[in-house]
Structure 1
């Protein structure tokens, strides 16, 4: 199954959303899902319930949540974490496309990928 994305409120730049959609990526933003100003765990729970891999600039908090979920036997649909100031919109889009081409939704389950791996 192909990876479907959920962009949290920190990562949902309109230019990135448009670029990914123009390339056929199945994605939804926190704004579209009415998830603005929710706790990080709520974002992860929502993404998981929808079978979507969470994409976020909030590296520290979401990696902590990944560790906490794994420690208590809770699962998630996967995470792609990226440092906010490191990549342009075009670079983010290219790296995301590489990542979702190389991995399935099943491979992402309970897995964290760092966008920097896909440079």
Structure 2
């Protein structure tokens, strides 16, 4: 089974990427890729280009961006919106997962 690759945007503390790496995930940050200052849409396109799910705290914009992508036939590798999450632990976080090629939003609990 293929592991999920994670790409964190500027809304998340870099500690999130570090914790994911410690847990065996392939994770990288906007800073590591030199993408600081890119728009949300550019971040999502870039994450897809490297085969990664985008992780963000930006619950204001990404649901809309997801639906705009789907509406226009664009695809991405997924968006994981982390709410009420302690970066250093990622335990008991409540998340909204936007899976590529799906129109629905799934609410999941994340415990890493």
1:52 corresponds in structure 2 to 52
Which structure's residues are more often strand, by fraction? Answer: 2
Listed as ranges, the matches of 1:105-116 within 5 Å are 108-110=99-101, 114=107
Distance 1:55 1:110, change over 3 A: farther
Listed as ranges, the matches of 1:57-76 within 5 Å are 57-76=57-76
- What TM-score comes out, normalization by structure 1 length? 0.75
What is the aligned length? 105
- The runs of at least 4 consecutive aligned structure 1 residues that moved more than 3 Å come to 93-96, 110-114
- What TM-score comes out, normalization by structure 2 length? 0.80
Which structure's residues are more often helix, by fraction? Answer: 1
1:103 corresponds in structure 2 to none
Aligned CA-pair RMSD:
2.5
Determine the C-alpha separation between the residues in 1 that align with 2:38 and 2:90.
24
Match of 2:7, SS? strand
Distance 1:14 1:25, change over 3 A: same
Match of 1:21, SS? helix
Task: Determine if contact 2:5/2:25 at 8 Å carries over to the other structure.
Answer: yes
2:17 corresponds in structure 1 to 17
